[in-house]
Amino acid sequence: MNPIYAALGTTIFTTMSGLATELGAINLGQGFPETDGFPEVRADAARAVMADSNQYAPMKGTAALRDAVAGFYGRTQGLSLDPAREVLITSGATEALAAALFALISPGDEVIVFEPMYDAYAPLIERAGGVVVRIRLSPPDWRFTEGQLTAAFSPRTKAVLLTTPNNPTTRLISREHWALLARFCAQHQAYVISDEVWEQVVFDGVRHVGVLNVPELTGLGVKIGSAGKIFALTGWKVGFVCASEALVTQIAKAHQFLTFATPPMLQTAVAFGLNLPDARFSDAVAELQRSRDLLMAGLEAEGFCTLPAEGTYFLNIDLPESGIALSATDFALRAVREVGVATIPLEAFCASGGLPLPVVRLCFAKSDATLQRGIEALKRARRLFV
Ligand code: GLN
């Protein structure tokens, strides 16, 4: 058995969703919308299942979807991508990450990551033979510094793997921080694998700046997107890789031996969805922002201290600032068992044995009624735990 997997448990998302089901708790843990997203996109997939081919799609994705991805990023992020050469369709962003890592790093290469980070990153890097180099970020600003980059980069640095907007911190990388990071990456010729699956879930009129918007990273940047987050259909697992032709060609070689191709009817429907008018997307994000505000106001009224929530489906609670002297893991386990609400402890996004991180993450992509029940449950938790 491979020791990397032998040492791992099931993911925190599976554990907390399992506990929520078992205990009948409100599930504000694993990040998925309570109701399925864009009905017109689902209807197009249903039509395509019957009307179109259900056989293998082209390995790099259908021409219609690659065109739609390039067009969408042209309109929304000012990118100019060649759909035939600079776009690859994968079976979800996690497959895209795996393919990028397998294709770009070799055993012994160092990959810099920022903790807390999405739980899949370290096992994927290690299984690809890479060495994980962690930069630890702290609330409430969760920003990296030049000093941290200086300490982390080495002659063995091959790549940086990051997330913007970030799950779980919700923060966006600013132009200034991109410029700082780009200086180091250009000097070391390190790739930047940028997980941008939350790019459309950004609040308060702020603009997402992705890796391909940074001119100093030309030829080094790999942008990863996902239909699951754009259309609130997390089960679909349709991802996109956008990068230079040389990088896409190399990453496609890994993809062809991972999943080879992605279900064609879903690609058809995602292409249809990406061509919807801009207002359709702004309405969806406005609805999520309203849910964020509802949860934030409800929790603040009960004495919880929430951290800034710039994007994603998530709102974080600072436990010590809320007067709760429990670790995030203890809080999450007690809250699901004693008051019936599932949350995600941010410690799960850090290496075991790391510094304490007493912050819990709540998913607000839920109905108002569910959010209200969650607030009531957390109110009871605060009474019990303070
Ligand atoms: N992205 C989801 C989250 O952050 C989890 C996906 C999963 O369960 N692997 O909650």
Residue 274 has, within 13 A of its CA and on its CB side, a CA count of 27
CB-based contacts of 43-50 (< 8 A; 24+ apart in sequence): 44/268, 44/269, 44/272, 44/273, 45/265, 45/266, 45/268, 45/269, 48/264, 48/265, 48/268, 48/269, 49/265
Structure tokens at 344: 């995600």
DSSP 208: P
Rounded to whole angstroms, what are the CA distances from 186 to 146, 220, 243?
Answer: 15, 8, 16
Mutate to test the pocket of ligand 1, among 167, 346, 362 (most ligand atoms within 8 A of CB): 167
| 111 close to 133: Cβ distance less than 8 angstroms | yes
Structure tokens at 327: 């670790």
Question: Residues lining ligand 1, judged by CB closer than 6 Å?
Answer: 11, 13, 30-31, 167
Of the candidates 61, 51, 94, 83, which has an alpha carbon nearest to the alpha carbon of residue 262?
A: 61
Atom of ligand 1 minimally distant from the CA of 14: 8
Residue 202: left (phi > 0), alpha (psi -120 to 50), or beta? beta
Query: Each residue's pLDDT tens digit in the chain (386 positions)?
Result: 999 899 888 999 999 999 999 999 999 999 999 999 999 999 999 999 999 999 999 999 999 999 999 999 999 999 999 999 999 999 999 999 999 999 999 999 999 999 999 999 999 999 999 999 999 999 999 999 999 999 999 999 999 999 999 999 999 999 999 999 999 999 999 999 999 999 999 999 999 999 999 999 999 999 999 999 999 999 999 999 999 999 999 999 999 999 999 999 999 999 999 999 999 999 999 999 999 999 999 999 999 999 999 999 999 999 999 999 999 999 999 999 999 999 999 999 997 667 789 999 999 999 999 999 999 999 999 999 99
| 350 close to 12: Cβ distance less than 8 angstroms | no
Atom of ligand 1 minimally distant from the CA of 119: 9
pTM for this model (two decimals): 0.97
- Please report the domains of the chain, with CATH numbers, ordered by start residue: 3-30+279-385 (3.90.1150.10), 39-276 (3.40.640.10)
